[in-house]
Chains A and B, each alone.
Chain A
Amino acid sequence: GQQVMQIPQYQHVQEGEDFTTYCNSSTTLSNIQWYKQRPGGHPVFLIQLVKSGEVKKQKRLTFQFGEAKKNSSLHITATQTTDVGTYFCAVVSGSARQLTFGSGTQLTVLP
């Protein structure tokens, strides 16, 4: 399956600051998905991107898929304490639909 590298591993921000996590691949991706996992919880699907240069927004969250479809980012504007958790990118690949996750970025928001 396709591999994705995610950075940073950890990020601490003050409430109200912005946050960005990046997902990179050495190969062209057919799609990229983003998930959020709250502490002690299970991953929850946020969004899927499939088109080159695609940008999607969900309230304060902005998701981008690179022009070459080798990278993606999740940007949170004006973080809130409810944004705390780990954010994962993931890719579905192959005819058997293997779903592979990046290592995640753990976000801490300081009040």
Chain B
Amino acid sequence: NAGVTQTPKFQVLKTGQSMTLQCAQDMNHNSMYWYRQDPGMGLRLIYYSASEGTTDKGEVPNGYNVSRLNKREFSLRLESAAPSQTSVYFCASISGQPFGAFFGQGTRLTVV
């Protein structure tokens, strides 16, 4: 059981470049989330998805887009990366039961 898998683990981008962070879960969870974590800022919610084909904005959605094409996968896209988007990005999923979220290992993104 892999749980939540994020790729890539590390990435360096130049300002203005685009990239997609991939996330997949094999636990048949309905809800999936993308967070960014900056030092001293905790986990800030970027986007979330309650089910396939639906997405909602979180606290800090500007500069990002997401796609939930199927139940397993939830991708995060940076169309034109900025240095302010340097952060650690976490994907998570949660079942419909009253259990906690499972997190991926994180993607450490640096924009130069």
A residues at B contact (CB < 8 Å): 1, 6, 9, 31, 33, 35, 42-48, 50, 88, 90, 92, 95-104
Contact A104 B100 (CB under 8 A): no
Q: What is the interface of chain A mostly: helix, strand, loop, or mixed?
A: strand
Size band of the interface chain B makes with A: 20 to 34
Contact A97 B50 (CB under 8 A): yes
What are 7 A-B interface contacts by the 8 Å CB criterion? Answer: A35-B101, A42-B103, A43-B101, A48-B99, A88-B42, A95-B50, A99-B45
- As a 0/1 sequence over residues 34 to 59 of chain B, the CB contacts with chain A under 8 angstroms (1 = contact) are 01000011111100101000101011
Contact B56 A33 (CB under 8 A): no
Please indicate the chain A residues that have their CB under 8 angstroms from the CB of B41 in the complex.
Answer: 103
CB closest residue in chain B, given A33: B100
A10→B101 CA distance, assembly (Å): 24
Contact A97 B31 (CB under 8 A): yes
CB closest residue in chain B, given A40: B106
CB closest residue in chain B, given A95: B50
